[in-house]
Structure 1
């Protein structure tokens, strides 16, 4: 078994993924240790020690706090990540990002600000629609 698959398998056994499916509206707060995938609509705060993925049909209006965040749908609010925030070519983020790493793919839309923590100081980089 490849190292990547083994690591993924070990992580998966630590908790079950949470899916908010297409056609579902979730209002309120959610706290989890597992990964969260959103294909429906979420209005409220999400906190997880895992990854949050907003699918192409997903819509989120809230604050997300997670290890990593991938945005392929629409996000309005604040994203706080310990690792990577990725906005895919189909993704749209209106708001604020706080993360050590921000990846914006060609075709993605990001309108707001990003704040990257540096070992020496915090730096703030204003961003506009790409």
Structure 2
């Protein structure tokens, strides 16, 4: 089950997996929302998943995933898909292109095979990453344009007068 553990010194936005086999419907991962759907261990799904909120996958998925929300990939999950999400936390295997608008957290023993595009990436020791990585500005950063302010006229130097005493 996904949980937030504030007692062992971890930040409140950390998500962990407990492999006790129980669905994570009562937890509130970093978005503060309940898990909207749960694809359990042993379940095979082929097609496109589009959702809002948080979804946890522990089974097999072949196709596409589209969300602005959170995708939680359990340790038993095997995903072969084009993935577009707001935030991805992965302990399983993903093969395909991954695009996260906010961040990706790869937790051991995750295996990633494919292109990754995200503004923020966290990789634990023990993760296997085989592919390409493109770090892009986040959603919030892309909206802010850098403001340039002139501090002087280019090519001019202040006059210096030497006084011999």
Instruction: Calculate the TM-score normalised by the size of structure 1.
Output: 0.79
The SS at the match of 1:56 is coil
Corresponding pairs, count: 114
1:1-130 superposed matches below 5 A = 8=28, 11-12=32-33, 17-118=36-137
What is the alpha-carbon root mean square deviation over aligned residues?
A: 2.3
Contact 1:71 1:93 (C-alpha < 8 Å) held by counterparts: no
The SS at the match of 1:46 is strand
5+ residue gaps, structure 2: 1-11, 13-27, 143-165
**Deviation string, structure 1 residues 7-37 (Cα, Å, up to 9, x no partner):** x598427xx5111111100000010012110
- Higher relative contact order by CA 8 Å / sep ≥ 6: 1 or 2? 1
Larger strand fraction of residues? 1
Instruction: Calculate the TM-score normalised by the size of structure 2.
Output: 0.63
Aligned to 1:126: none
Q: Which has the larger radius of gyration?
A: 2
Aligned to 2:147: none
5+ residue gaps, structure 1: 121-130
CA distance in 2, matches of 1:12, 1:104: 24
Cα distance, 1:65 vs. partner? 0.8
Cα distance, 1:58 vs. partner? 0.5
